[in-house]
Structure 1
């Protein structure tokens, strides 16, 4: 009689444990079926037009639109997305640590990076360009000789221009692109250089419209890809399929116009998946 009581009690405990375990796994399982499950996506928080965290806590930008569309195709709703800031220097580490499921953050595909992470896409072909005052005329890179060129501290963009295109340019390095822009409008510098998509995002902001413009020079090719953990071929295939659908249904073109339109950004057509322009 005692044995039957103990056995029955144990059965109840075991049943409760199994039920609790099942409930717990449904909250943490990122299987892509939605229903309250979460997916963590890395973006930039400080790039207008690409990835920006706004004062009200919401997010906007082309990269955000790309990431949101992909997440939806994977089975997640907007409420299922956890956005995580991923600065350029920490992108590879964030993926290897498992801090994020994938990264959409003006992440150029390069052979060096492909040794550490895998990429889906590309989803945008950008180019290094110049942002100048609206009344300035810059038709070629050598026009910068003798001019004050600005970029953020540690950026390779300005060094590329100075070393390869305009060796007589006077390089000024500021802490942020916003400081460079203020210097450009105030006359302290003559041009700002980085990817044209980043420049277009700034130029599209209300406070800069009509004051600055893109020079339209294609000084380099930057193939933006979606970074995922190295070797995750399944997720890569799923994201590639989502990007193809985004292009075919017109959502890609809409995202370009919504985020870069006010800057008159002459974007390249949507790149073909796996087509890396050298």
Structure 2
């Protein structure tokens, strides 16, 4: 009986030991899932390809950050984060963090917290390559201007730059792009990084051009739930990403083909207004 008691105790100890080892996040091999919000329709930023893969600058950044948090690429559950849904996704806890061309603004910062910024973009317009009628931001007045619901870009144009623009808001940038190609829309406005991603796609080669207008500064941050301790951890990961050269690698990989002239990596916590 004594031998059996020792055996049971030893077995229990072994099970506890194995369980503890399995729960360890050391080295990022825990297998614990993490849910990350990204865009699904932004080439060069966040794109879900027809074969179910995910590509883009935000995807690379998010994958790097997740690894620093102890998760391998296979642990990541990607969730679409449309512009209008991002705060809700975080507030409901549907995602752990969001990297989705998510500009840091005072209004958004009241609802969620931001790590970063990790990229400084500028608002611009994409127009048809043969359109010479839009040479400066003011030329957007009376033009049919498209952006996505929930984006800061469209409202920025309406309130500050071209109040007489005929604004049309769609659910996604791909819808705006279709309208632009079919001449239903005159211009698509959003961040130059996003527009460069579209213009660089093989199927659109020679069809569109960037206006070259720096109409605003867009500080991309990684959104987390208000009060989450992930903010500090993600900031540490972002700093390491810049220091070890990964940031430059991701920029070259995703924006290089479009000859996108990016700003240098921003400093964590420094918002360019």
Within 5 Å, give how 1:121-270 maps onto structure 2: 121-137=116-132, 138-153=134-149, 155-233=151-229, 235-270=230-265
Deviations along 1:127-147, one digit per CA (max 9) or x if unpaired, are: 221001123344421112232
Whole-angstrom distance in 1 between the partners of 2:231 and 2:263: 23
In structure 1, the partner of 2:47 is 52
Note if contact 1:41-1:84 (Cα within 8 Å) is conserved in structure 2: yes
| TM-score normalised by the chain length of structure 2 | 0.85
Deviations along 1:114-133, one digit per CA (max 9) or x if unpaired, are: 23322211001122210011
C-alpha distance 58-229 of structure 1, shift in aligned 2 (>3 A): same
Shift of 1:49: 1.4
How many residue pairs end up in the alignment? Answer: 271
Deviations along 1:215-272, one digit per CA (max 9) or x if unpaired, are: 1212122111111232234x33332222222222322122122212232222211111
Whole-angstrom distance in 2 between the partners of 1:85 and 1:172: 22
Name which of 52, 71, 77 aligns with 2:72: 77
C-alpha distance 271-140 of structure 1, shift in aligned 2 (>3 A): same
Deviations along 1:172-217, one digit per CA (max 9) or x if unpaired, are: 3444322322222232222111222221221121111221111121
Shift of 1:23: 5.6
Shift of 1:273: 0.7
Whole-angstrom distance in 1 between the partners of 2:87 and 2:19: 30
Structure 1 unaligned blocks of 5 or more: none
| TM-score normalised by the chain length of structure 1 | 0.83
Within 5 Å, give how 1:78-93 maps onto structure 2: 78-93=73-88
Note if contact 1:213-1:263 (Cα within 8 Å) is conserved in structure 2: no
Structure 2 unaligned blocks of 5 or more: none
Shift of 1:79: 2.0
Task: State which structure, 1 or 2, has the greater radius of gyration over its C-alpha atoms.
Answer: 1
